[in-house]
């Protein structure tokens, strides 16, 4: 697959840029810890309320990380006309989209991987058994977030006025993704029953598929001259 | 190239420019500051869309060299080359890469970050990159600027190699004597219009008439 | 140079002796706590560790100020070294505390003011190390570190106040109060054990610090040699 | 005052750039709105709990959007060696600090101005009468946030993994601001009594003053070679 | 300038460079790619700290001109000038600003965004900026690159004006003939060391010996 090969190279480049040393990963870990501290200071999270608040808090952490990552996502391409350098090569434009989505996803998943257990320890939650399902749902939500976010971030790369409309369309689309994920998490945490979560889950998957396809198709137009 | 025009806002940067390029031809693109040289090259490289007109390319691979741009500053020299070669679907071996770098006097700089290179070294690196990619049409935008004597030699031998390999080359520059010595044909732009298109000797003879401020006062421009 | 090395070695040896004596005293001679039993003995490590961590923060501050003022690489090496060892001791305190907390309180962690403060201390130290690691250019990294060292130190009293108020003004103090040991009926040998361990930790701290400084100086020396050639 | 004159020019420049591109404001507004929706969907905020949860939620939203602005605060200076261009002029380095603090403050206050009423509407709150005092406290908190945030946004300018490093460095230092602001807001919402909030308010003001002074004095080292 | 040295990591970019500058002197700074010219200028402009050595300046205001850099792309020409003049504590009237712009052939470009300027126009804008600021020492890093003939004339008249006003000027360039024609003194760097410091005629006579690759093969470098 030509597309995948190119996407891998682009991904390799981003990863290279990010981790010349392993400290970036460490910073991820402490970042997760920090967010939980912040929550603790903002709301008294009492034991009896934790289960109820968990999905919201977790997603707050993830969305925040995601947004921060998005502002910097295309920074390497902004500098020194590197986007032009990429466009001069005959690569499939969608490969850039795929690689940035994956890069963003990796970053967020790493934070999530840290935050989940930390959350459990610090707030004394007993959801170890549910962890796989929680993670699966979160993954779907994160994917949707990354896809939309990458598109959004690519659009702001260009300052042309007419394209400022696109974020206006894109951004509200994030809300259903986040909503569906939170509801799913809530249901799983409350009852552990997948069956109840199905409608939300289907919605989530549908969103992911639609946005990925749309992004894949639209991206060439977004970055092209 | 047919009737190429480009407007920015309400202003024409390029007006009805048409010309043909033959394979293996080397063209000097001359013109005052703001004449539209860079705009023309960007249109040719498809980094910009023409407001009107169309571009037809026989071999679609276009190389565009702007000194100092188009490199990831925080990747090393080797990483930059590997990335761009991979995206160009270019299967050069590491030995060939090493050879191109040594031609550009960058041996041993493989593991340097690009941000640690001097201006001339970055330009040499770009030359090495296009040397490896072998594009069908190469556009050079003021390539002489940061190069020292040896760098100019490298650039010119690189250009003549390419033209021998049937690549068309366009050099936009203000180093008119050097460019005319190297190229067989010249284009002159003035305020977005193509005012001259012909062999270099005609250009050299008519230069004063074509653009008042192409040469500094009293410059001898023998080649 | 070599006299400094000898001093450092003596410091290390002394620290070792005191640690051994202190551990003997703490683990064997001092009686078990009336309420907590043997688990209380971890206090002999716990309290000295946090003390050295505080000391560390102060040294980072001093080193940072000196560096910004005089621009001597020496001061930067000092600050960096102190920060690294500070992380070690702060982390140690938390781990000891957690180990202690499990049998006494039944949880590893609780949002008590003192615990929170220690954790914040750790986060600041860690941020210091991260900041330095993630900035490529050496001088930049040193200056950035110095700035964080100073601002962080200035911030400590404010953090201290806010965290304590957070726990006291806002809601009744939690049932768990690690800071109220029954001093009235402490056995004297408990105090002796604590004192010996204090000295031991301070000695250990300065030993580690001197070693870490030596390491930093060696690295600087190595860089210089690469530049100027062997001399 | 030379310093103020220079700071005004620098501020004028930032405002000009922002008006032309609207990059920061746009992403901040979007993110702020997204956070509100997130809160709305994930925490059932009941009337009886409002006083307790509102300050945390609001302030969290501000801090997070503020973080987003901070990662982009020095973007204009990053491009095209403009920071160097500034340093070539004999201006007082502290003017840059002052101007960036004010600019950041303006951005955040604008966002707050929108988020406050939106929040009130979404959650059916009746705190219109308290609005001035709430705003005063929030202003003090925001100022503290901007001061330290600007300082460390400049410090981390050349760091890798910047988007994670900045919050990592900043948040622990900001804990007094976070705690003090939230407590103040809570007290005001609960009882409307200033007297109870005094210690916190004093802490907040002390924080602002200390770090404005420190930042002012130290900033020269932050941007110099 | 005393014993100036600068190291990057374990590599010297500049080694024990010492020289004095008199007011009103114009110095050509020559050297191959990577010789350390840019590094030296950055040290002089205090944008970089020397690893060792010290710089003493009689008049502290240092101007540093690098084509294409140091402008806010999303501000207009006029806004850029106003901002920088204000920060330089320079109280030029709008009429004077207008005059400097018209000298740089940028009349009417006041309200253009800098990102809409061509490379040469940006360079002219920088010249206009320093023309207005009148620094005590001006450093030019490869200023000829993007300038057309008229631009070169502008630059050179600007430089001679400054030297007449007792400003010292250092020009780092690879356009050796032009630079030597303009300057009274030359410095040549080779791999970070100052290998020549003397009047331009000595430099011109010894150029082949000083750096093998300063000039392209067979270039006639009369001035
Ligand atoms: C993660 C857990 C813990 C942390 C981070 C922690 C941190 C600290 C700190 C920072 C101090 C020094 C405070 C000062 O001198 O002002 C301290 C002292 C002390 N801690 Fe802990 N602690 C933890 C758990 C515990 C536990 C579980 C106990 C025992 C039940 C305990 C008992 C003590 C005692 C007795 C002192 C010294 C006496 C005093 O200053 O009043 N700590 N701890
Ligand atoms: N992005 C843009 N927006 C608006 N106008 C532009 C833009 N880019 C170029 N122009 C205008 O188009 C004209 C031609 O610019 P171009 O960069 O092509 O000139 P050039 O021949 O390359 O000049 P130089 O020799 O200075 O590099 C100029 O008047 C310039 O102001
Ligand atoms: N930031 C940096 N980090 C590491 N090395 C650097 C850095 N900047 C420059 N160098 C190295 O220092 C040497 C001198 O670079 P400098 O840019 O001063 O050369 P120059 O004389 O300006 O060359 P050119 O004519 O190509 O512009 C080069 O070998 C370069 O690789
Ligand atoms: Mg051009
Ligand atoms: Mg240079």
Lowest average pLDDT, out of A31-35, B7-11, E69-73, E218-222, goes to E218-222
Q: What is the rounded CA–CA span in Å between residue C13 and residue C210?
A: 13
Q: State the first-to-last Cα distance of chain C, in angstroms, to the nearest integer.
A: 17
Q: Is E121 in the pocket of ligand 2 (CB under 6 A)?
A: yes
> What residues 193-212 of chain C have any CB closer than 8 A to a CB of chain D?
none
- DSSP secondary structure string, C118-133? HHHHHHHHHHHHHHHH
Confidence of residue A135 (pLDDT cuts 50, 70, 90): confident
What is the per-residue pLDDT for C35? Answer: 64
- Cβ distance B87 to A80 less than 8 Å, yes or no, reads no
The position carrying tokens 């760098």 is B151
Which chains are within 8 Å of A by 3+ CB pairs?
B, C, D
Confidence of residue B209 (pLDDT cuts 50, 70, 90): low
Residue B1 has pLDDT above 70, yes or no: no
Strand order in the sheet with B52-54: B11-17, B2-8, B52-54
Residue D116 has pLDDT above 50, yes or no: yes
Average pLDDT value for residue range E75-83: 94
> Coil, helix or strand for E17?
strand
What is the per-residue pLDDT for D48? Answer: 67
For ligand 3, what atom is nearest to the CA of residue E42? Answer: 18
Give me the residue from B49, B63, B73 closest to A225, CB to CB. Answer: B49
Average pLDDT value for residue range D165-179: 92
Residue E155 has pLDDT above 60, yes or no: yes
- Cβ distance D175 to C162 less than 8 Å, yes or no, reads yes
What is the per-residue pLDDT for C79? Answer: 95
Give me the residue from D22, D42, D162 closest to A59, CB to CB. Answer: D42
What distance in angstroms lies between residue C125's CA and the mean position of ligand 2's atoms? Answer: 51
What distance in angstroms lies between residue C83's CA and the mean position of ligand 1's atoms? Answer: 21
Residue B2 has pLDDT above 50, yes or no: no
- R_g (Cα) of chain E, nearest Å: 18
Taking the Cβ of residue B74 and every Cβ of chain A, the question of whether any pair is shorter than 8 Å is answered with yes
Q: Is C104 in the pocket of ligand 1 (CB under 6 A)?
A: yes
What distance in angstroms lies between residue B6's CA and the mean position of ligand 2's atoms? Answer: 10
Q: Which ligand is nearest to the CA of E43?
A: 3
What is the per-residue pLDDT for C174? Answer: 38
* Cα angle for residues E41, E43, E49 (degrees, 5° grid): 160
Residue E11 has pLDDT above 80, yes or no: no
What is the per-residue pLDDT for C131? Answer: 92
User: Cα distance from E199 to chain D (closest Cα, Å)?
Assistant: 29
Average pLDDT value for residue range A138-161: 83
Average pLDDT value for residue range B79-85: 93
Q: Which ligand is nearest to the CA of B150?
A: 3
Taking only the tens of pLDDT, chain C with its 231 residues reads 567 778 888 888 888 887 887 777 777 766 776 666 666 777 778 888 988 999 999 999 999 999 999 888 899 999 999 999 999 999 999 998 888 887 877 777 777 888 888 999 999 999 999 999 888 888 889 999 999 999 999 999 999 888 888 876 544 433 344 455 444 455 677 777 778 888 888 889 999 999 899 999 998 888 877 777 654
Residue B172 has pLDDT above 90, yes or no: yes
Pocket-testing residue among E7, E33, E35, ligand 3, by greatest number of atoms within 8 A of Cβ: E35
Shortest-distance Cα residue to atom 29 of ligand 1: C178
- Nearest to residue D99, comparing CAs of D77, D122, D67, D127? D77
Q: Which residues of B touch A91 (CB under 8 A)?
A: 87-88
Q: What is the rounded CA–CA span in Å between residue D94 and residue D88?
A: 15
Residue D9 has pLDDT above 90, yes or no: yes
Q: Is E186 in the pocket of ligand 2 (CB under 6 A)?
A: no
Reported as a single tens digit per residue, the pLDDT across D145-159 is: 999 999 999 999 888
Give me the residue from A24, A44, A67 closest to D31, CB to CB. Answer: A67
Average pLDDT value for residue range D133-156: 94
Q: What is the rounded CA–CA span in Å between residue D120 and residue C20?
A: 63
* Cα angle for residues A26, A28, A34 (degrees, 5° grid): 105
Q: What is the ipTM of this complex?
A: 0.88
Contact E195/E64 with Cβ under 8 angstroms? no
What is the per-residue pLDDT for D191? Answer: 79
Confidence of residue D44 (pLDDT cuts 50, 70, 90): low
What is the per-residue pLDDT for C231? Answer: 45
Q: What is the rounded CA–CA span in Å between residue E30 and residue E183?
A: 12
* Cα angle for residues A178, A182, A183 (degrees, 5° grid): 120
Q: Which residues of A touch C84 (CB under 8 A)?
A: none
Q: Which ligand is nearest to the CA of B111?
A: 3
Determine the residue of chain B that is closest to E155 in CA distance.
B216
- Cβ distance D26 to A167 less than 8 Å, yes or no, reads yes
φ/ψ of residue D104, rounded to 5: -60, -40
Residue B222 has pLDDT above 70, yes or no: no
- DSSP secondary structure string, D66-125? HHHHHHHTTHHHHGGGHHHHHHHS---HHHHHHHHHHHHHHHHHHHHHHHHHHHHHHTT-
What distance in angstroms lies between residue B59's CA and the mean position of ligand 2's atoms? Answer: 27
Average confidence score pLDDT of chain D:
88
Q: Which residues of C touch D204 (CB under 8 A)?
A: none
Q: What is the rounded CA–CA span in Å between residue A36 and residue E221?
A: 69
Give me the residue from D55, D57, D64 closest to A64, CB to CB. Answer: D64
What is the per-residue pLDDT for B114? Answer: 92
Half-sphere exposure of A169 (CA within 13 A, CB side): 8
Q: Is C67 in the pocket of ligand 1 (CB under 6 A)?
A: no
Confidence of residue A167 (pLDDT cuts 50, 70, 90): low
Q: Enter the pTM of the model.
A: 0.90
Average confidence score pLDDT of chain A:
82
Residue A126 has pLDDT above 90, yes or no: no
Q: Is C178 in the pocket of ligand 1 (CB under 6 A)?
A: yes
- Cβ distance D159 to C165 less than 8 Å, yes or no, reads no
Lowest average pLDDT, out of A92-101, D191-200, D215-224, E176-185, goes to D191-200
Count CB atoms within 10 A of the CB of residue E12: 19
Contact D9/A149 with Cβ under 8 angstroms? no
Q: List, in order, residues 6 or more apart from E15 with CB less than 8 Å away.
A: E5, E192, E193
φ/ψ of residue C112, rounded to 5: -80, 150
Q: Is E77 in the pocket of ligand 2 (CB under 6 A)?
A: no
Residue D117 has pLDDT above 90, yes or no: no
Q: What is the rounded CA–CA span in Å between residue B162 and residue B159?
A: 5
Between D99 and D25, name the one with better pLDDT. D99
**b/e code B38-50 from CB counts within 10 Å (16+ = b):** bbbbbbbbbbbeb
Q: What is the rounded CA–CA span in Å between residue D112 and residue D142?
A: 10
Between A162 and E165, name the one with better pLDDT. E165
């Amino acid at each position: 697959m030509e597309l995948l090969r190119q996407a891998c190279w682009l991904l390799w480049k981003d990863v290279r840029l990010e981790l010349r040393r392993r400290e970036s990963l460490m910073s991820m870990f402490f970042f997760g810890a920090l967010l939980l501290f912040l929550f603790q200071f903002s709301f008294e999270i009492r034991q009896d309320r934790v289960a109820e608040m968990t999905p919201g808090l977790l997603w707050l952490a993830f969305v925040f990380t995601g947004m921060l990552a998005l502002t910097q996502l295309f920074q390497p391409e902004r500098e020194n006309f590197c986007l032009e350098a990429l466009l001069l090569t005959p690569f499939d434009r969608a490969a850039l989209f795929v690689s940035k989505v994956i890069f963003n996803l990796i970053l967020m998943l790493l934070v999530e991987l840290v935050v989940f257990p930390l959350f459990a320890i610090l707030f004394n939650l007993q959801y170890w058994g549910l962890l796989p399902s929680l993670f699966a749902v979160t993954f779907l939500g994160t994917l949707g977030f990354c896809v939309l976010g990458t598109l959004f971030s690519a659009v702001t790369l260009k300052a042309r006025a007419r394209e400022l409309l696109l974020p206006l369309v894109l951004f509200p689309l994030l809300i259903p993704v986040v909503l569906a994920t939170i509801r799913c998490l809530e249901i799983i945490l409350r009852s552990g029953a997948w069956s109840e979560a199905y409608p939300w889950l289907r919605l989530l998957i549908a969103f992911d598929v639609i946005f990925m396809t749309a992004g894949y198709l639209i991206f060439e137009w977004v970055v092209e001259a | 190239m047919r009737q190429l025009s480009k407007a920015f806002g309400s202003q024409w940067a390029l007006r009805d420019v048409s010309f043909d390029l033959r394979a293996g031809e080397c063209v000097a693109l001359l013109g005052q500051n703001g004449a539209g040289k860079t705009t023309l090259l960007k249109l040719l490289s498809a980094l910009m869309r023409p407001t009107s007109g169309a571009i037809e390319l026989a071999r679609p691979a276009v190389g565009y060299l702007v000194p100092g741009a188009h490199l990831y500053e925080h990747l090393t020299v080797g990483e930059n080359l590997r990335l761009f070669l991979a995206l160009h679907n270019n299967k050069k071996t590491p030995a060939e890469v090493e050879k191109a770098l040594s031609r550009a006097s960058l041996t041993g700089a493989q593991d340097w970050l690009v941000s640690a290179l001097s201006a001339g070294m970055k330009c040499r690196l770009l030359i090495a990159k296009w040397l490896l990619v072998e594009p069908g049409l190469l556009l050079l935008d003021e390539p002489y600027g940061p190069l020292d004597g040896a760098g100019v030699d490298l650039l010119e031998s690189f250009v003549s190699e390419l033209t021998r390999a049937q690549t068309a080359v366009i050099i936009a520059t203000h180093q008119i004597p050097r460019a005319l010595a190297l190229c067989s044909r010249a284009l002159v732009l003035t305020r977005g219009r193509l005012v001259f298109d012909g062999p270099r000797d005609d250009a050299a003879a008519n230069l004063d008439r074509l653009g008042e401020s192409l040469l500094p006062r009293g410059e001898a421009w023998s080649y | 140079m070599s006299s400094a090395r000898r001093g450092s070695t003596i410091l290390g040896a002394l620290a070792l002796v005191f640690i051994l004596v202190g551990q003997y005293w703490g683990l064997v001679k001092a009686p078990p706590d009336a309420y907590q039993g043997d688990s209380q003995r971890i206090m002999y490590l716990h309290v000295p560790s946090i003390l050295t961590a505080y000391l560390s923060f102060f040294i980072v501050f001093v080193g940072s100020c000196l560096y910004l003022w005089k621009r001597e690489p020496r001061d930067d090496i000092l600050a960096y070294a102190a920060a690294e060892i500070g992380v070690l001791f702060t982390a140690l305190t938390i781990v000891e505390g957690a180990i202690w907390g499990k049998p006494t309180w039944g949880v590893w962690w609780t949002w008590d003011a003192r615990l929170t403060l220690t954790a914040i201390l750790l986060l600041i130290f860690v941020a210091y190390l991260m900041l330095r690691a993630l900035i490529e250019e050496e001088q930049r990294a040193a200056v950035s570190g110095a700035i964080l060292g100073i601002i962080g130190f200035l911030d400590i009293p404010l953090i201290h106040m806010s965290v304590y108020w957070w726990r006291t003004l806002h809601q009744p103090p939690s049932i768990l109060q690690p800071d109220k040991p029954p001093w009235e009926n402490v056995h004297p040998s408990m105090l002796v054990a604590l004192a010996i361990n204090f000295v031991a930790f301070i000695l250990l701290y300065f030993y580690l610090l001197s070693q870490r400084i030596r390491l930093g100086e060696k690295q600087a020396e190595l860089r210089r040699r690469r530049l100027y050639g062997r001399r």
